[in-house]
Amino acid sequence: QKMGQEMSNINSRVGTRLDQSKDDVEVFSKRVQEDIEKLLDKKREKELMLQKRYDWYVSHSEIAQAKLLKNEERQQDILRDIAAKAAEFEALTTERIKETEVIMAEREKWEQAKAEHAQFQLVLDEHIDRMSKFCDVGGSALEVGKHFRAYFEAIPGKITKAAESTWAVTAGPTADNQKLYLEYFTTYMMDLGEILWVKEKRLDELERRTRNVQYTLDLCADTYDPNGPKYKQSLRELRAQTDDLGGVINDTRDRGDKEITAFDETADALKKMGVEFVHPMIEMNAAHVEKRTGHVYKKAGFMQSELHYIDEVTDELSETKMLVKQAKSTRQANLIPPLMSPESQSPRYRKNREQGFPVEGSPQPAGGT
C-alpha cells in the first residue's frame, strides 16, 4: 500500500513535470519561432542591402569601365605621341652626331693641312737655302770640270800611244803563245775525240748486250731457261751502266764545247795575223768520221751475214709450214722429216756442220776441246 502510495505520488509528480515540460517546450518553440522570424527578417534585410550594394557596384563598375576605356584611349594617344617624339628626338640626335663628326673631320683636315703647310714651308726654306749653296758649289765645280775636260781629252791619245808601243813589244810573244795554244788545243781535241770514240764504242757495246739479254729474256719461256731472274738482274745492271756512261759522254761533250768556245778568241786572232790552220774541231771530227766509217763497214758485213741467215730461216719456215699444212690435211706424219734429218736442222747448224765447225750439243771429234 505504501509502495502504491509512493508510485501514485511519483506519477503525480511526473505528470506535473511533464505538463510543465510541455509548457516549457511550447514556450521555447514559440520563442525559437519568433527568433527564426526575426532572423528571416534580418536575412531579408541583409539580402536587400546586398542587392542594393550589388546594384551600386554594377552601376559604378560600368561608369568606371567607361572611364578606364577613355583613359586607355588617352594613354594610347599619349604613347603614340611619345613614340613619335622619341623617334624625332632620335633622328635629331643622330643628325647632331653626324654634323658634329663632319665638323670634327673637317677640323682635323684643316689642322692637318695647316701642319703640312707649315712643314712644307720649313722644307721649302731649307731647300731654297741648299739650292743657293748648290749653285755656288756648281759654279766652282764648273770651273773644275773645265780643267778635267782638258785633261781627259788628252788621255785617249796618250792611251793609244802607250798601247801601240806596248803591242809593238808584245806582238811577237803573243803570236808565239797563240800558236803554241793552237798546238796544245789540237792535241787536246784529238785526245778528246779518242776518248769520245772509246766511250761511244763502249756505249754501243752496252746497248748491244742489253738487246741480246732482252732477247734472251724474252725467249726464256720458250726455251725453258731457268735463268730468267739472272737475265733480269743483268738487264738492270746493263741499263744502269748505259745511263751512267751516257751521262759521262754528255759531260765530256759539254766540257769540249766550252773549250771550243774559249778557243774562238784565239782562232780569230790567228786569222787576223794571217796564220793558216785547220780548226782542231775539224781535225777531231775528221778522225772520228774515219774511225766510224771503218766500224760501220765491219758492222755492215756482219749484218749482211745475219740478213742472209734470216732469209734462209724465212725460206725454211715457209717450206715447213707447207709440209705441216699438207700433213695435217692428209693426216700423214711421214711427210714431216725426221728430227735429225738435214731438212729439220737450222741453216746455221747445217752450215757449221758442212764447214766442220763444232756445234753445241753435237758429238765432238776425238781430241777436240
- pLDDT, one tens digit per residue, over 50-63 is 888 888 888 887 88
105-142 pLDDT tens trace: 888 888 887 788 788 778 777 777 777 666 666 666 66
- Is residue 225 scored above 80 in pLDDT? yes
Give the structural domain span for 344: 282-356
In a domain, 318, yes or no: yes
**Plot region of 331 (φ>0 → left; ψ -120 to 50 → alpha; else → beta):** left
Task: Write down the pLDDT at residue 364.
Answer: 38
Task: Strands of the chain (E only): list them.
Answer: none
In a domain, 296, yes or no: yes
In a domain, 348, yes or no: yes
In a domain, 289, yes or no: yes
Task: Quote the percentage of the chain above a pLDDT of 90.
Answer: 6
Q: What span, in angstroms and rounded, lies between the C-alpha atoms of 41 and 137? A: 137
- Is residue 252 scored above 80 in pLDDT? yes
Task: Write down the pLDDT at residue 251.
Answer: 93
In a domain, 215, yes or no: no
User: Amino acid letter at 336?
Assistant: I
Task: Write down the pLDDT at residue 144.
Answer: 65
User: Is 22 or 118 the better-scoring residue by pLDDT?
Assistant: 118
One DSSP character per residue, 127-187 reads HHHHHHHHHHHHHHHHHHHHHHHHHHHHHHHHHHHHHHHHHHHHHHHHHHHHHHHHHHHHH
- Is residue 264 scored above 60 in pLDDT? yes
Task: Write down the pLDDT at residue 366.
Answer: 35
Residue 216 backbone phi and psi in degrees, to 5: -65, -40
* Local confidence band at 244 (pLDDT 50, 70, 90 cut-offs): very high
In a domain, 102, yes or no: no
- Is residue 357 scored above 60 in pLDDT? no
* Local confidence band at 367 (pLDDT 50, 70, 90 cut-offs): very low
Domain count, the chain: 1
In a domain, 316, yes or no: yes
In a domain, 335, yes or no: yes
